[in-house]
Amino acid sequence: MNKVVLVTGANSGIGLALCERLLQDTESLQLCLACRNMQRAQAARSALLTSHPSAQVALLQMETSSISSVLAAAQEVKLRYNRLDYLYLNAGIMPNPQFDVNAFFKGLFSSGIITMFTTGQGILTQKDCVTADSLQEVFATNLFGHFLLIRELEPVLCDAGHTSQLIWTSSSNAHRLAFNLEDMQHQRGTQPYSSSKYASDLLSLAFNTHHNKQGLYSSVICPGFVMTNMTYGILPSFPAFLWTLLMPVFWLIRMFCNNFTLNPYNGSEALFWLFKQKPESLDPQAKYHSSTSGLGNNYIQPRKMDIDLETSEALYEQLLQLESEVRKKLKGKQK
């Protein structure tokens, strides 16, 4: 039977590159692009079908920051498919990034240049906002919307007789110090992106703990430093030519730091690699990093995540409690 693959945030960047690679590998799969902007989703689908005319590519409208949108999308998935083999949890935002220009140029000539470029440490903070569901936007988009989607899709993910995979797009910017269980939405901090990505690392481990026996496995990847719309959005006031001037610096850094994947195709290497693996053989506490050598060769680097079972379980329980609360609020609004 054809594999069924759903990718969130699939209309551009790493998500679209993954879809192209999946179809290049085999067109005998059912591919579903879950996107917020349907106009961009249609353009992405047309581009994929131009390259692969016989491919089965469907669209699904979903905004992961909206509870009602996630629930409606999940219901649609269950109507279309009786099982789901791969769920790529790729959608994410880093809104209103605040870039410290002085720290950036100081970092260019310091021993911490590699860490600065690969994690944004010392140069990036973000200003979050609140959604219509009264949730912090980054938390809702990057983590909770995906959590709710998985919970809703358990009937087609935990199907007897076959295994399914959850694959999270995390980041090297996922830091333990940015995350606080007592403030899991990061209302009081300045690094909501880093917090949400660290939480996704924890949540992946929790899903393995709770669902491996039902045939559902979860893995985490890091795409490396990739030039995508999110990356360009970090420096909205910088002229375009500055990126051109920086590219030789990036290429030079790649000679010593292979997580400078730079383009979406290279960044999707770990996502595509996991499509080929038996989930039972994977390490639930490893993050699989897309890497590109100085000569342009792609490969995977598994690295242990800075996570623990106790914290992952505590986060899982808090998310279940939040899920219960938002469902009650939604029912109240519908009456």
Report helix, strand and coil shares of the chain as percent, to nearest 5.
50, 20, 35
Write the DSSP assignment of 229-250 as a string of letters. Answer: HHHHHHSTTS-HHHHHHHHHHH
CA torsion, ordered 220, 210, 65, 5, to nearest 10 deg: 60
Instruction: Give the position of tokens 């993050």.
Output: 287
Of 86, 193, 198, 288, which one is the catalytic site residue?
193
Write the DSSP assignment of 315-332 as a string of letters. Answer: HHHHHHHHHHHHHHHHHH
With beta carbons less than 8 A apart as the criterion, state whether 117 and 48 touch: no
For 240, residues 6+ apart whose C-beta sits below 8 A from its C-beta are none
**Is 56 in a helix, a strand, or coil?**
strand
With 0-12 CB in 10 A as exposed, 13-18 as middle and 19+ as buried, what is 156?
Answer: buried
C-alpha–C-alpha distance, residues 143 and 103, integer Å: 29
Residue 193 annotated among the catalytic residues of the structure: yes
Please write down the long-range contacts of 75-78, taking CB distance under 8 Å and 24 or more positions apart: 75/152, 77/6, 77/32, 77/153, 77/156, 78/152, 78/153, 78/155, 78/156
Closest CA to 89 of 39, 172, 150, 138: 150
C-alpha–C-alpha distance, residues 280 and 271, integer Å: 16
C-alpha–C-alpha distance, residues 335 and 331, integer Å: 6
First-last CA distance in the chain: 42
Compute the Cα dihedral for 154, 42, 235, 252 and give only its sign: positive
C-alpha–C-alpha distance, residues 18 and 43, integer Å: 16
Active site residues: 193
